[in-house]
Structure 1
């Protein structure tokens, strides 16, 4: 299954903008913080990401993505 970074990189610029609108975050925030796992999103944002991806990303997948990123930096 795709992770958030892979999913994001596969989108066109138009799709990226639409995805951000559906998630409720700015393009810059998504590009700078979320796809690289620098910030951990709120549960509401994780839910919005799952919905905006049409369930191509799962809650489990997103939890692993964000937790793995923070654990590898520790």
Structure 2
């Protein structure tokens, strides 16, 4: 199961921009907050990320990513 961080790092800059546009998430917010687990997305944003990833990300992988980040801190 691919993590949000690994998915994001596997994209080139143009793909990241396209992903953010499709998911309606600002590039800066994604880069500085979400992929580092500093902020937790809404359920609506999680759905948009799953859809924008062409199903490479799953709800489960995103939930695990953010739940594991909060339990480590």
User: How much has 1:4 moved relative to structure 2?
Assistant: 0.4
Normalised to the residue count of structure 1, the TM-score between the two structures is 0.96
RMSD of aligned Cα (Å): 0.5
Match of 1:53 in 2: 53
User: How much has 1:14 moved relative to structure 2?
Assistant: 0.5
Whole-angstrom CA distance in 2 between matches of 1:14 and 1:61: 23
* Unpaired runs of at least 5, structure 2: none
Whole-angstrom CA distance in 1 between matches of 2:2 and 2:53: 11
Whole-angstrom CA distance in 2 between matches of 1:11 and 1:61: 17
Match of 2:70 in 1: 70
* Unpaired runs of at least 5, structure 1: none
* Count, aligned residues: 73
Normalised to the residue count of structure 2, the TM-score between the two structures is 0.97
Moved over 6 A (4+): none
